[in-house]
Amino acid sequence: MREYEGVKRKNAIGRMVNALRIEAPHVLAAFGEDAAVIEHNGEALLLAADGIWSKLMEADPYWAGYCSVLVNIHDIAAMGGHPIAMVDIFSATENSRIQDQVVKGMHDASAQFGVPIVGGHLHPDAPYSVIDVSILGSAKLDSIIYSHTACEGDAIVAAIDLNGRVHPSCILNWDSVTMKSAEAVRAQIRNMEQIAHDHLVTAGKDISNPGLIGTLGMLLEVSGKGGTIDLSLIPHPDLAVHNITFDLWVRMYPGMGFILTAKDADVPELIRRFASVGMEARKIGTVDTTQHLTVRYKGDNTEVFDFINNGIMHILKDEIPCRLR
C-alpha cells in the first residue's frame, strides 16, 4: 500500500497546500476535504474538482468521461451534500473518436445521476487528451461530513456496492454504476445526504484512487488520529468469481464506496441504511490516537502508515482552517 501509485500520487499535495493557502473567513474547510466548504447566506456551498488519470483516457475514453463526472459526484456525496451542477475543461487532440467518446461518457453519467454539465472550456487542438471537471454542491451548515473530524474510539465503517464487475478497461476500477438505473444510483447519493442530516457519522471520505486502505489513511492523517482495521472484515465480492485477489480489491476504485467513522451505537443504523440502497456496510476497525494505521489479519498486526514521520498527503489537522471543529 505504501508503494501503490494511487497512494504515492498524493504525496505532493502538502507542498501545493502550503504554496496556495490564504486566509478567507467564509471558507470553513478546504484542503484535505473531498470538497471545500464555503459559507454563503447561512448555508454551505461545496466546491470540488477532479482530473482523470491519462492512463484511463488512453485505455477507454468513454469510461474516462463517465468517471470524470462520477468522481465529482462522489466528492459531494462524501460530504453529505447535494450535487447541483458541473463545469469541465476538456483538452483534446484532433482525434474525433476520442472527443466523441469522452463527451458521450460525460453525458451518460450526467443524465444518470441527474447532475447537469452547464459550461466549461474546450481546447480542441491540444497535443494530448485530458478531462477535468469541477462540481458545485450544497449542504446545511450543521449537516456536513468532514474528513478531519474522526474521534478516538470511533468505529471505522466501510460501505461499498458489491453488485458490480471489474471494469473491462481498467482492472483497478470496480464498476457498480453503469448497469444500474438512475433511481438506484441517485438513491445511494441521497442516502449519504440523509446520513449527514441525521448526524450518524463523525467523519467520512469516498473511496478514491488510493483504494480503501489508502483513503482511510488520508482521513486519519488529516484527523490527527490513527487506527487499526481487521482485513477479514472488509466487504468484498466473490473474488474467485471475478478473478481478482484481495490485495487488488483493496486498491480498487469502487463505483460507489465510502469509508466512514461513527459512534458504535450508530453502526447498526448505518448498516441498515446502506443495505436499503444495495450497499454492504461493516465495522472494520477502530480509531485511536497513535497516528499510525495498522492492519490486522488472523492475530498478526502490521503497520501500514506512520503519519508522524511519513504521511500520505502531508497535511496535518491543525493546518486545515475550519471553524466547525
What is the separation, in whole angstroms, between the first and last Cα of the chain? 30
pLDDT of residue 54: 76
Mean pLDDT of 251-270: 97
> What is the reported pLDDT for 24?
76
Q: What is the tens place of the pLDDT at every residue in 229-241?
A: 999 999 999 999 9
97-149 residue pLDDT tens: 889 999 999 999 999 999 999 999 999 888 888 999 999 999 999 999 999 99
CB contact set of 170 (below 8 Å; sequence gap of 6+): 56, 59, 60, 63
Instruction: Say what the pTM is.
Output: 0.90
Q: Whole-angstrom Cα distance, residue 229 to residue 240?
A: 23
Longest dimension (CA), the chain: 57
Name the grid cell of 84: 447541483
**Highest mean pLDDT (candidates 3-12, 276-285, 316-325):** 276-285
How many residues are given for the chain?
325
Q: Under a CB-based contact definition with an 8 Å cutoff, are residues 270 and 145 in contact? A: no
Rg from Cα positions in the chain:
19
CA–CA dist 269, 275 (Å, integer) = 10
Q: So where are the chain's domains?
A: 5-319
Put the strands of the sheet holding 280-288 in their side by side order: 203-206, 257-262, 155-160, 280-288, 226-230, 292-297, 300-306
pLDDT at position 224 is: 94
pLDDT tens string 44-72: 999 999 988 777 888 899 999 999 999 99
Quick one: pLDDT band at residue 29, thresholds 50, 70, 90?
A: confident
Residue 287 to residues 98, 105, 146, 158, 292, Cα–Cα distance (Å): 44, 38, 15, 13, 10
Higher-pLDDT residue of 24 and 262 is: 262
Average pLDDT, the chain: 91
CB of 106 closer than 8 Å to CB of 88: yes
Mean pLDDT along residues 221-225: 94
pLDDT given at position 32 = 79
Question: Which cell numbers hold the place of 235?
Answer: 466487504
Residue 91: which residues within 8 A CB-CB, separation 6 or more?
123, 126, 128, 129, 130, 131
Residue 207 predicted with pLDDT over 50:
yes
CB 305 within 8 A of CB 217: yes
pLDDT band at 82 (very low <50, low <70, confident <90, very high): very high
Per the listing, cell 461518457 goes with 105
pLDDT band at residue 325 using 50, 70 and 90 as cut-offs? very low
d(CA 201, CA 154): 9
DSSP state of 317: G
pLDDT-derived band of residue 319, with 50, 70 and 90 as boundaries?
very low
What would the pLDDT profile of 145-199 be if each residue is shown by its tens digit? 999 999 999 999 999 999 999 999 999 999 999 999 999 999 999 999 999 999 9
Question: What is the DSSP secondary structure assignment for residue 154, as one 8-state letter?
Answer: P
Instruction: Lowest mean pLDDT of 23-37, 241-255, 295-309, name the range.
Output: 23-37
When mean pLDDT is compared over 15-19, 51-55, 217-221, the highest value belongs to 217-221
CATH among 1.10.150.120, 3.30.420.10, 3.30.1330.10, 3.40.50.720 for 5-319: 3.30.1330.10
